[in-house]
Amino acid sequence: MRHVVILTFDSTNMLSLSAAIDPLRAANRQAGRALFHWDIATPTTAPITLTSGIELPPNPVSRLGPCDVLIVVAGFDLELHATPATCASLRRLAEHARWVLAVDGGPWMLAAADLLHQKTATTHWEDLEVFADRFPDVSVVNARYAMSGTTLTSGGAAPALDMMLQFLAWEIGDQVATKVAGSFIHAAHPSAQSPQVRQPPQVPNNPLLHKAHEMMEQNLEDPLPIPSVAARLGLSIRALQLRFQTAIGMSPKHYYLHLRLSEAERLLRDTQMPLRQVALRTGFATQPQFSRAFKAQTGHTPSQMRSSR
């Protein structure tokens, strides 16, 4: 029987966590025997609270022994969760695990623990650009899920189910994996390489956020710090973040980055402006930084985008 450790954190999406656990349960049921048993681990001795408000009891990851499969499921506040102690526990467990999987913000945690060095990975589309910039040693792709040897990463709850079905097919065979898919009434899933569906930047209807949008659009070449945007609107940073998240489902930082990259895409498509100049015109200090962010959002490098016109 395979031992699985599922490490999760405060502010994790319940659907993402379920997408990692329930396929294992269904595999046991469809096989008629216990193929997997799992421990849901927490980073510390404190309970954690999911985004739904559901509280999970503490089960410190530092106290768990080796496992066959390590799954990391995370949501928000990733930098806060990536403590030295948690990263050390991830490295310890990954060293002996035959498989390492990550869901939603989980890839960020693996990268912070230096477990994605020179590997191909994805994460939630809202974080792709920041992820690529933060971890330049990772080959970041805009895909539903990514496979790099025995390391699998997915962009969120729906692609996590596809990723888990692929994992089950490799680990225990297509027959059980197909039965598991059927038990969830899950149709043939898209390929791993299918890009994640993302919402394009939209002008918020809220008058205050519309002002923020105009402010950002007028400052693409020299981006304003988000605290400055909030101050000009008479809001705290937290209030601005909450309004953006509520209105359009993304942070002001991500929204601003989308505006800049959308303008970069327009310049690449409609002008002959040199790539270096496009980078500068959209607020990127270096061309490599621009290329990583652009590829993370569009799935193509700036050069590829231009040559495909």
- The domain segmentation of the chain, as residue ranges, is 2-183, 207-307
Q: What span, in angstroms and rounded, lies between the C-alpha atoms of 14 and 189?
A: 21
* pLDDT of the chain, 309 residues: tens digit per residue: 999 999 999 999 999 999 999 999 999 999 999 999 999 999 999 999 999 999 999 999 999 999 999 999 999 889 999 999 999 999 999 999 999 999 999 999 999 999 999 999 999 877 787 888 889 999 998 888 999 999 999 988 889 999 999 999 999 998 899 999 999 988 655 555 555 555 545 666 788 888 999 899 899 999 999 999 999 999 999 999 888 888 887 889 989 999 999 889 888 877 788 999 999 999 999 999 999 999 888 888 898 888 865
Beta strand pairing call for 36-41 and 120-121: unpaired
Just give the CATH number of 207-307: 1.10.10.60
Claim: this prediction has a pTM higher than 0.75: no
- What pLDDT is recorded for position 130? 80
CA angle 275, 279, 285 (to 5 degrees): 130
- What pLDDT is recorded for position 200? 47
Question: Which residue do the tokens 């695990």 mark?
Answer: 97
What the block records as the tokens of 248 is 């359009």
Query: How many other C-beta atoms lie within 10 A of the C-beta of residue 46?
Result: 11
- What pLDDT is recorded for position 191? 58
What the block records as the tokens of 125 is 């589309």
Q: What span, in angstroms and rounded, lies between the C-alpha atoms of 29 and 36?
A: 10
- 2-183 domain in CATH 3.90.190.20? no
- What pLDDT is recorded for position 189? 53
What the block records as the tokens of 7 is 């490490």
- Looking at residue 95, its amino acid is E
Query: How many other C-beta atoms lie within 10 A of the C-beta of residue 103?
Result: 34
Taking each helix axis from N to C end, the angle separating 174-183 and 157-172, rounded to the nearest 10 degrees, works out to 150
